[in-house]
Amino acid sequence: MSALANHSFVKMNGIGNEIVVLDLRDSAGSVSADEARAIAAPAGVPYDQLMVLMKPQLAGTEAFIRIYNNDGSEAAACGNGMRCVARRTFEATGKTALTFQTKAGLLNCWQGPEADTYTVDMGPPRLGWKDIPLAEEFRDTRAIELQIGPIDAPVLHTPSVVSMGNPHAVFWVDDVNAHDLGRFGPLLENHPIFPERANITLAHIVDREHIVIRTWERGAGLTRACGSAACATAVAAARLRRANRKVRITLPGGDLVIEWRESDDHVLMTGAADFEFEGKFDPALFTRA
């Protein structure tokens, strides 16, 4: 029987990004890919990302966070999920600032400037083609040669690429709802140019302080919100000098404020994190897995 049988969990969301928070800091166990998929099944607790708190590996950190997509693959970063973890941990400890360790590095989180908002320091973006990573060299990652559709009339083309601990491709469009992202997303996510796959975002720049996006999330599919995609989009727009370094990003699930801080190159993400319910995993989920 899985050690997760009857284990408690918390269901939350970050502006519509469906998150399950699982605290294993008092356990020697971990989560397998099969177990992550079982939890995400319709009979389980469907999610976009599963945030698993493990025992801290470094002094001064609250936990080591493992992040799973609903297909069982692991992600290095999830901004919306980190806000949910921050809120839950703040409420449990009474603290208003904490540091967590992830595969993407150390992430500092603190209470946001308004009630029920939380800020995550996502660290500096990675902009070199090897760091994103891409399968071949592009000296200027503000716009790479990639398109979907006929050569003389591509449907989507020339994305900006950025890593926020996970790879992102941002396609600039006039209307984020005018394209079938559910169709093009899987093709682009798995394009050979992305050896580790990629998150695919459609972005429309409203003005220098406001951008609207939709994202096909690597390993999760269409999502109402992707915090790292919002960060990547803000960075990409600023690099193209089409937006300020602090912008409001509107996603289907709500708004995030993203600031690419000039003083240290770090990207700060601020937004809400909402509690939905608590529960315990049905042992039958893992029997079927």
Q: Residues with catalytic annotation?
A: 78, 226
Q: Is the dihedral of CA 268, 168, 172, 180 positive or negative?
A: negative
Q: What are the start-end ranges of the E strands in the chain?
A: 8-14, 17-23, 49-54, 64-69, 74-75, 97-102, 105-111, 117-121, 147-148, 156-157, 160-163, 167-172, 199-207, 210-217, 221-223, 246-251, 254-260, 267-272, 274-280
CA–CA separation, 122 vs 260, rounded Å?
10
SS3 142: coil
> Is the separation of the CB atoms in 17 and 224 below 8 Å?
yes
